[in-house]
A and B are shown apart, each in its own frame.
Chain A
Amino acid sequence: MIKPELKDFLQSEETKIIKGNEAAAYAAKSARVQVISAYPITPQTTVVEKLSEFVDGGLMPGTQYIKVESEHSVLASLVGASMAGTRTFTATSGQGLFYMYEMVHWTAGVRLPIIMAIASRGPAPPWNIWADFTDVISCRDTGWMSSFCATHQEIYDEILMSYKVCEDHEVLLPKFVAYGGFILSHTSKPVIIEDQDKVDNFLPPLPDEKGWPHIWIDPERPLMHGNLIMPSGFYSEFRMKIHDALIKSKAKIKAVAKDFEKTFGRSYGNGLIEEYKMADADVAILNYGDLALQMEEAVDQVREEGYKVGMVKLRHFRPFPVEDVIEVAKKVKILGVMDRATAFGSPTGGPISSEVKTALHGIKGTAMILPMMNGLGGREVSLEQQKEQLKILMNIKETGELPEDLLHGTLWHGKLEVN
C-alpha cells in the first residue's frame, strides 16, 4: 500500500524515484551536455544506459554520444570534443578509471572542464565491484578536482555545481564526482530533477562558437597544442598554474554551493565540508560518501546515550579543504578520520587520514587524530558499527588509552579474524 501523501509525492513532476546512476544521467541531461563518451563497466553501467535512452529517444537534441571501445578512448574522445569547445560528460568505475589514467593527466594538462561521474569500486585483484574510493583517490595528483556524494540527490546536485565551478574561467579544470558503487549507484531514492529553465539560469551558458578562452579549434585562428617544451620553457609554470587554480577553486566551490542553495534550496555545508552536531562535540569522525549519511544517525543515537559526538562530512578531496579541516580539528579533542580507500605504505594507510595529518601538521590546539578504516570493497558498515566507532573515540577521550589492535597506528574497524 502506498501512503496517500507518498502518492502525491510520486506524482510530482520533478521528483523521480531513481537509482544513483540515473541521477548522474539526469544531471548530464539537465546540464545540456553536448558530447558524451562512455564504455560500460560495473557498477557505472546504468549511467550509460540511461544516457543512451535519452539520446536515442531524442530527449537531448544535438547531443553526440560516442560509444567507444575502451576507457582510454572515452577520455581521449572527450579531450578532443572538449578542446573543440563543447560541454562533455562521462562516467566510469574502478578499473575503467585506471585504464584511463594517462588521459586523466592529459585532461588536466589541457585544462578541460570535463565532468566524470565515478561509481566507485574496489581495485582488483581479487575482483571487486563494490564501494571503495581507492579508484578516484588514486588520481589524487592528476590536477582533477574530486568530490564525494552521500545521497542520490547530491549526485544530481553535485554534477550541476561541478559544471559551474569547473567552467569558471579562473578554474578550467576537470572533475570527478564519486559515489559508492551499488550502495548509491543501484539503489533507488526520490531525486528532484530541477526545472530546465532554472538549471539553465544557474549554469554558465554552453561555450560559444569561439570555445574556451585558452583552447579552441578554429580554422581562422589556427592553434596548436601540446608541443614538446624544453625544461627551460614554461613547463614548470604551467604546472604551477594548475596547482594555483585548484587551490583557488575552493572559493568558487563555496560561492557556487551558496548560489545553489539560494536557487534550489538545498544546502551542502560550505561546499567543501559539512558539519553535523559539531558545536559541542568532544569527539568526532570525519567521514565521506554514503557512510557519512548513515553516521548522522549513529551520532544521534550515541548522543541519546549521553555522549557528545559529532561528524564532519568531507565533500571535496581535491581541492583539499585544509582550512576547514583545521577549524573542525580545533573544535574536538579527538578526531577519527575514516577511510573507505587505501593508500598503501602512506603514513596511516588511509589516504584521507594521511591528508588530514598533513593539513594539521604544526597547527597548535588541534585534536588528536585516530586514523580509521572501514567498508573496503563494499564491506557492510552497519549503524551499530558506526556507533561503536564513535564510542571508541569517546573511550580514548575518557581513558587516554588507544585501542590495542591498531595496525601501524591505524584502526581497521570491522575486520574479520585472520589466522
Chain B
Amino acid sequence: MASLKKVMEDEIACKEWFLPGNACCTGCGLEIALRWAMKALGPEIAMVTPASCLNVVIGLWPKTAPDFPQFNMAFAAGAAVASGFEAAFKAKAHKFPGKVWDRMTSICFAGDGGTTDIGIQGLSGAAERNSDIIYVCYDNEAYMNTGIQRSSSTPHGAITTTTTFGKDRYKKNLPAIMRAHDIPYVATCSISEPLDIYEKFKKAKSIRGTKYIHILAPCAPGWGFPSEDTIEIARMAVKTGFWILYEIENGVLTLSKKSKSLLDPSKRVPIIEYVATQKRFAGISEKTLIELQEQIDRDWENISKEIFCQEEYSK
C-alpha cells in the first residue's frame, strides 16, 4: 500500500478538490470517500452524480464545493451519462487532437440506491459495453438522502424507516454482480483505509474499460452512532469481515492488506461487536444475529476456496 509520505509527494493529492464549507453532516463517510478518490484522480475528470446525498452536500445553488467538473443527474442515469462523457471526449479528441480530451476520465459517483437498485440497469449496460468509465458506489446502506429507507444494499437485520423491525433480506453483493460482467477492474474500499482508496483509484485511472469501485461509507445519523466514530465503525466493518477489502483485476481476486489476515476465522471480530455500536441494529434478534454471522462466514469460505484454488493452480 502507498505510504502517506509517498502520497504527500503527489501535488494533486495534497490539494483538496472537494472544498470545505460544504453541506455534509458531521462525520460524513461520503465526504472522506470523495476527498480521497479525488486526490488520486485529480481535476482532469468529469463526474456525474445521480440523485443521492452528494447532490445536496455539494452545496445549494449557486454554492459549489467540488473544484472539478461535476454534474448532478437523474437517479437512474448515472452510468449512461458517464458513457456519454466518454463518447464526447473521444469525439473531441478526434476533432482537437493532442489536448486534454484524451486524458479525461469519466466518473459516476453514486450512492447505493442509485447503484444497487434504480441504477443497476444502466450500470450493467455500461459494464457490458466495457465503457471506459470509473463507476463508484459510495455505500451508506440505505436511502439516506430521502430519510433512511431500505435499499438492496441495506444489511440483514438493519432497521430503516421502511424496515421497522429490521431488514429480512440480505445485502446485495454488487461487486460480485459487477465481476460477472467480466470488466477489467472491480475493487472494494472502506473509508477507514484512505491510502487504500487512493491506490485503488490511481490504478483504476490507469486501466481502460469499466472500473467498478464500491466504498463502504458509514452514515452517523442513518446508522445511529456518534459522528466522531465514523472511521472506527468503518474499521470495525472490515475487522469483523462483514466488509471485505479486495480487488479483482481481469477476473483475479486479491485480498487487500486489511482483509488478508481474516482468512483465518479466529482473526475476525465477531459481528455482534460491530452490530452493538449502531442503533440501526437495536433489538436485533439472536436468530438474525446468527444469520448475519453465518452470511459472513459463508462469504469468507467462498473467498478462501477461491484463493486456495488460485494457489493450487499456480503451483
| Identity of the chain A residue whose Cβ is nearest the Cβ of B42 in the assembled complex | A219
B83, B88, B106: residue with the most chain A Cβ atoms closer than 10 Å = B88
Q: Which of A68, A70, A222 contacts B69 (CB 8 A)?
A: A222
Query: In the bound complex, how far is the Cα of B61 from the Cα of A68, in angstroms?
Result: 32
B45, B76, B83, B122: residue with the most chain A Cβ atoms closer than 10 Å = B83
Query: In the bound complex, how far is the Cα of B129 from the Cα of A82, in angstroms?
Result: 20
Query: In the bound complex, how far is the Cα of B85 from the Cα of A84, in angstroms?
Result: 6
Q: Say whether B61 contacts A227, CB under 8 Å.
A: yes
Does B124 sit within 8 A of A, measured CB to CB? yes
Q: Which of B60, B66, B79, B81 contacts A229 (CB 8 A)?
A: B60
Q: Say whether B88 contacts A34, CB under 8 Å.
A: yes
Does A245 sit within 8 A of B, measured CB to CB? no
Does B121 sit within 8 A of A, measured CB to CB? yes
B68, B81, B84: residue with the most chain A Cβ atoms closer than 10 Å = B84
B80, B96, B131: residue with the most chain A Cβ atoms closer than 10 Å = B80
Q: Say whether A72 contacts B77, CB under 8 Å.
A: yes
List the one stretch of B51-59, B147-155, B278-286, B304-312 in contact with chain A. B51-59
| Identity of the chain A residue whose Cβ is nearest the Cβ of B124 in the assembled complex | A69
Name the distance in Å between A330's Cβ and chain B's nearest Cβ: 44
Does A61 sit within 8 A of B, measured CB to CB? yes
Q: Which of A64, A72, A227 contacts B80 (CB 8 A)?
A: A72
Which bucket holds chain B's interface residue count? 35 or more
Q: Which of A63, A76, A84 contacts B46 (CB 8 A)?
A: A84
Does A37 sit within 8 A of B, measured CB to CB? yes
Query: In the bound complex, how far is the Cα of B129 from the Cα of A66, in angstroms?
Result: 9
- Chain A 227-260, CB-CB to B under 8 Å as 1, else 0, gives 1111001100000000000000000000000000
Query: In the bound complex, how far is the Cα of B48 from the Cα of A233, in angstroms?
Result: 23
Give chain A residues whose Cβ lies under 8 Å from the Cβ of B87: 35, 37, 64, 66, 77, 80-81, 86
Query: In the bound complex, how far is the Cα of B63 from the Cα of A227, in angstroms?
Result: 8
Q: Which of A305-345 contact B (CB under 8 A)?
A: none
Q: Say whether B45 contacts A78, CB under 8 Å.
A: no
List 8 A–B pairs whose Cβ atoms lie within 8 Å, in order of A's numbering: A37-B84, A66-B131, A68-B122, A81-B91, A103-B77, A209-B99, A228-B60, A233-B62
- Give 10 nearest A-B pairs by CB, closest first: A80-B84, A69-B125, A226-B72, A62-B94, A84-B88, A73-B80, A76-B77, A77-B84, A76-B80, A64-B87
